[in-house]
Structure 1
Amino acid sequence: MEPLVALTRACPGATLVLAAIVLASLVGLFAAPSMIERNLFRPFWLVSRRQYATLISSTFLHADLAHLFFNAFTFWAFAFPLERAIGTADFLALYFVGMVASDLGTYFKHRRDPGYQTLGASGAILAVLFASIVYSPSASIFILPIPIPIPAPVFAVAYLAYSYYASRHARGRINHDAHLAGALAGIAFVALTDPAAFERAVHVVVG
């Protein structure tokens, strides 16, 4: 219990965000399902129906437990170490930038589709993940069911390429536009706020 308390004290921003995501999602999934319907992000109706609050509220809700678990686990794995490295203020700023960027990516792609709707924290979390890669370019990432570690830069390039391809071809229900925008926002955030860290990452990658 003491290590958990120490972790939350050292990373209040990540703790607050994770708690909000888990609590809001569980309430929406089990106690008040109508909350999910009311807070879906619908780009087509954003301006005409003034659903501006959904730009934020939709990112704290999830479609099912599997969706919530995957996002919460990814956030836990990368957010807490990153906040310790860059500080709470910068971490929260990064998360907000990732959230806004993913919303904008979704809006511009689907603003003419009246039936499109989405929710989830994936875009903002990918901003955290990709910022973490910039700060730790020599690290490796494990992805089930792949049994071997993947070098972080290789994962980053492959993921961006896949997200771009999937976004162009609109395969499945996954919001690849939000993922791509969030990931790029994470990289851009580090490049603008900590150029030295970005330059070190580039040096590690290109040699």
Structure 2
Amino acid sequence: MPPIAIATLVIIAANILISIKGFNDFSFFEKYKFNIASIRRGEHIRMFSSGFLHADFSHLLFNMLTLYFFAGVVIDALGTPKFVIIYVASLIVGSLLSFYFNKDKYHYSAIGASGAVTGILYAAILFVPNAKLYLFFAIPIPAWLFGVAYLLYSIYGMKNKVGNIGHDAHFGGAIAGYVLTLAFAPGLIAHSTWIVVLLAVPILLLFILHKLGKL
């Protein structure tokens, strides 16, 4: 297994400790989860704190394993400070997009680091687009195809309310990861033009569908 950077270890530890606190303290969980009504009352800390809470150990494990496997790619390419910026920005943009699409659903709640982790995943895909990822843990596909398919599925999930999943937060995280990675490493635009364009397709599609009132 690849060595783990201090920044990754700190983020994983924070997620574990805060999530376990939430598992065992219902009032703490309720106080810091993402909730539209509470945010509209001014409890903006929930936009950030919810990214460190998880529904259960399997939810926590999946997000932290994904972060573990892709954080190193981003750190090696950009360094620790920019990795942390992408992680935090992806978390916040994921929450902002989720708030935007659900602002009139006062009951809407969400938790999880998925937005932040998706931002790191999308950043890593820009650097290693041909790395093999395993769909359903069995079918190998190139990372760029996984990234495009994942966001297209997120659009489908947002439109059709599929599952108890914050598809909009995932999408917001991916947008932040994509934009910041290209801002930090603009050479990717010339070096991997077709990958940059392909990964932009679902993002553009989201805005077009929203503009047309289809989402």
- Give the drift of 1:34: 2.1
Choose the corresponding residue for 2:100, options 103, 108, 113: 108
Q: What residue is the counterpart of 1:169 in the other structure? A: 160
**2:18 matches 1:24:** yes
Aligned mate of 2:31, from 33, 38, 52: 38
Contact residue 138 and residue 204 of structure 1 kept, 8 A? no
Corresponding residue for 2:205?
A: none
Q: Distance in 2 between matches of 1:205 and 1:40?
A: 34
| Equivalent in the alignment of 2:210 | none
Cα distance, 1:67 vs structure 2: 0.7
Alpha-carbon distance, 1:124 to partner:
0.5
Moved over 6 A (4+): none
Aligned residue number for residue 180 of structure 2: 189
> What's the CA shift for 1:41?
0.8
Rounded Cα–Cα distance in structure 2 between residues aligned with 1:57 and 1:42: 11
How much does 1:142 deviate? Answer: 1.5
Q: Secondary structure at the match of 2:34?
A: coil
1:67 maps to 59
Query: In the TM superposition, what whole-angstrom CA distance separates every residue of 1:36-85 from its partner, at most 9, and x where no partner exists?
Result: 1111111233132x211111111001011111111111111111332132
Percent identity for Structure 1 against Structure 2: 33
204 and 119 in structure 1: CA distance in 2 versus 1, 3 angstrom threshold: closer
Equivalences for residues 27-176 of structure 1 within 5 A: 27-30=21-24, 32-48=25-41, 50-145=42-137, 147-176=138-167
In the TM superposition, residue 121 of structure 1 has moved relative to its aligned partner by 0.4
**Alignment-mate amino acid for residue 26 of structure 1:** I
Query: Distance in 1 between the 2:192 and 2:125 partners?
Result: 8
**TM-score (norm: length of structure 1):** 0.88
Cα deviation, residue 205, structure 1 = 7.3
Counterpart of 1:149 in 2: which secondary structure?
strand
2:169 to 172, 175, 178: 178
Q: What is the alpha-carbon distance in structure 1 between the residues aligned to residue 102 and residue 194 of structure 2? A: 37
Distance in 2 (alpha carbons) for counterparts of 1:103 and 1:205: 24
TM-score, normalization by structure 2: 0.85
How far apart, in 2, do the equivalents of 1:92 and 1:66 lie?
24
Q: Distance in 2 between matches of 1:35 and 1:183?
A: 28
Gaps of 5+ in 1: none
Name the SS of the counterpart of 1:112 in structure 2: coil
Q: What is the CA-CA distance between 1:200 and the residue it aligns to? A: 2.2
Q: CA deviation at 1:12?
A: 2.1
Question: What is the number of residues matched between the two proteins?
Answer: 198
Residues 163-204 of structure 1, C-alpha deviations (whole Å, 9 max, x = no match): 011111112210000011111221111111211024323246
Provide the rounded CA distance (Å) in 2 between the counterparts of 1:198 and 1:120: 31
Aligned mates of 2:87, 2:121 — CA distance in 1 = 10
Q: Which runs of 5+ in 2 are unaligned?
A: 198-215
Tell whether the 8 Å contact from 2:188 to 2:196 is kept in structure 1 after alignment.
no
